[in-house]
Structure 1
């Protein structure tokens, strides 16, 4: 594929990913705020996302194999279509929005999200020429960072739409906009992209690579550490304890995720290996170890009776910067270590672990908060990141090479 064609496909994949992320972030905020407003408790809200996360685990495992067999363009377009259906399922009269129906819609959304993400991340590996590790790192960081920034915009969009149009009107608008993106993707995304040269067997979804397995385990604990306090506990705490309204909760979480995404996109500029080497296990351990301290410090500040709003705002800022650096580094390492022929198998297995971490974190976020409060969620978060840091030490050292921005040799 020529350089111009690669850039064009990168732009289409990124645009699809951006559009999907906007609807995904908005839908998450719509569900949390709408059902909290209806009187649902933190654990009940967390359970609404149970199938979203469970099916995300299954989808990443199966989706990587499917992408290798039928092509990443098809898996991405299937993901877009399923998200349109999931949104349309929620555009029903309020009396129909019972828990099983909402959980079913969230299940479809979870399948859609992880098909889309697996397809986007795998595609980048195929669009970068051999040896272009610097370019790969920058493209992965830009894709992931911009996606997370737009997820923040989606949080704000969800809060704003809920206030302006109500729940039903909001999901109708989101479904219509994403349907247009899906039609454009069907027309312009390259056919056959990412299809393996052979037909991989289903048992190949289980990775035999030490690097892939270690990174997957670390990713599980890293994202569990974020979601155990950020997904349910934090927005409910801001709303019920600090008395923030929907606009303020949505706007603050949006600003945090946007900032997090910007830092993630810039990570190749400051997350580097020593002495001109690209980042490896030592760098992954150091950044995760630094992150593990932050939730503990926030918990200590809240327990000591310090002003809760100030402690959370400062702590979230530091946590966001360090978490963004860790996430960008892990995203680069997994794509770099993945095989090229059938890349979606390794990437799908890795993001299966990512989805498992979100599932564990989401459930713990509701359960721990309801039983013990936000401080307990923060202690669990710190412990999870510490485990992720220790796992990074098991990565093979042989992968370390030239610095990400050095010309390929």
Structure 2
């Protein structure tokens, strides 16, 4: 049955399968590291520092990775990412005495490079498999890929908490390395060799985008993801464990539910934003949804600061935040692929995800620092400020009628 499908559909399924498996291990590893080192008595700032290189090298990788993808082909950058994640997991499968902060930071650096090579390759590959005049289909496939990725990352959070409780840290990372090694072998055998390779090889100086719309969208994306990670990466799981006294399974389960629901909403984002009525989103949609998310975050921050039913506000409020954030993220993911040039698409997508990684880096550092100094409410107010900046930047995103490539869309 698989062989009867069209070539582009088979390639899309392979890319998505690779991305899904990688995403599960990435989410599980994140939860394993946060909970394991919190158990060892590390402060929130120290735990945040473990992810410093993960996020920093994500910035570098997205910038250079787009250039590599255009030169080598997206199949190679995806396979390199899978191989590096296997290596990163094996680096952590060492005796516990070796798991010092510098060693774990090094392993996380390898994992950060791997994750962003894989993500850039998957998102860019979709552009090469969908015709330029099928923007509605492009939006749908990007939403499905992004939504399913986040749902599986949520499952990864739960799996990470479960594995830590059942088999321990070392066995957990070995199991994940074995699964990804099998996925890598399949990818080497079946993924096309010239996927996403640019006809005209871009020079290294072309790494930085010259497109105004991509630069504006990238700036908005940076603050959007900084706003999420400033409370989500370290502050929230530590808060749930230390203030609410939730155990590993409860923490992993809640964060898994949050990210799974977030992913499901992303998958339905085209319907939510009006694609069923023939509407293709533009800068106006991104502005409206960024403003709504800013309002939601401000209300949550106020509720937490006033200590009004904190468990209710945090659990329900952050689920609402996740749903609105999901639509924002899905809109951005569509807009970048739509704005990107068809030949060498990975360059534009890579630059955009470089900004995404920069936001995550800023959010990760602040998540540990602000929480340690002032608590969760302060993290949420920083998130509110970042989202206000996202909204202001989104004012300058091009409207559909101004985009020649989008003006004919129905």
Please report the TM-score for the alignment, with normalisation by the length of structure 2: 0.96
> How does 1:361-400 map onto structure 2 within 5 Å?
361-397=363-399, 398-399=402-403, 400=406
Question: Post-superposition shift, 1:303?
Answer: 2.0
Please give the alpha-carbon distance, in whole angstroms, between the structure 1 residues aligned to 2:307 and 2:384: 20
Q: Where does structure 2 lack aligned partners over 5 or more consecutive residues? A: none
Residues 302 and 340 from structure 1, CA distance in 2 versus in 1: closer, same or farther, beyond 3 angstroms? same
Indicate the residue corresponding to 1:204 in structure 2. Answer: 206
In 2, are the aligned partners of 1:278 and 1:401 still within 8 Å (CA)? no
1:37 aligns with 2:39: yes
Once the two structures are superposed, what CA deviation does each residue of 1:18-77 show, in whole Å capped at 9, x if it has no partner? 000000000000000000000001000000000000000000000000000010000000
Q: Secondary structure at the match of 2:6?
A: helix
Query: What is the aligned counterpart of 2:136 among 127, 134, 143?
Result: 134
Instruction: Look up the match of 1:334.
Output: 336
Paired residue secondary structure (2:168): helix
Q: State how 1:6-405 maps to structure 2 within 5 Å.
A: 6-272=8-274, 276-397=278-399, 398-399=402-403, 400-401=406-407
Query: How far, CA to CA, are the matches of 1:213 and 1:224 in structure 2?
Result: 17
Contact 1:273–1:283 under 8 Å retained in 2: no
Off by >6 Å, runs of 4+ in structure 1: none
Cα-Cα RMSD: 1.4
Instruction: Answer whether contact 2:91 2:107 (CA < 8 A) is retained.
Output: yes
Tell me how far 1:305 sits from its aligned partner.
2.4
Q: Does the CA-based 8 Å contact 2:136-2:275 persist in structure 1?
A: no
Taking the aligned partners of 1:142 and 1:273, their CA distance within structure 2 comes to 14
2:193 is paired with a residue whose SS is coil
Contact 2:70 2:346 (8 Å CA) reproduced: yes
- Asked if structure 1 preserves the Cα contact closer than 8 Å seen for 2:22 and 2:82, the reply is yes
Using a 3 Å threshold, how does the CA distance of structure 1 residues 274 and 253 change in structure 2: closer, same or farther?
Answer: closer
Note if contact 1:238-1:244 (Cα within 8 Å) is conserved in structure 2: yes
Q: Give 1:97 shift.
A: 0.4
Structure 1 position 276, deviation (Å)? 4.6
Instruction: Say whether the 8 Å CA contact 1:30–1:159 is kept in structure 2.
Output: yes
Question: What TM-score do the two structures reach when normalised by structure 1?
Answer: 0.97
Q: Distance in 2 between matches of 1:173 and 1:48?
A: 22
Distance 1:190 1:274 in 2: 33
* Unaligned ranges ≥5, structure 1: none
Tell me which moved more, 388-397 or 328-337: 388-397
Distance in 1 separating the partners of 2:167 and 2:176: 12
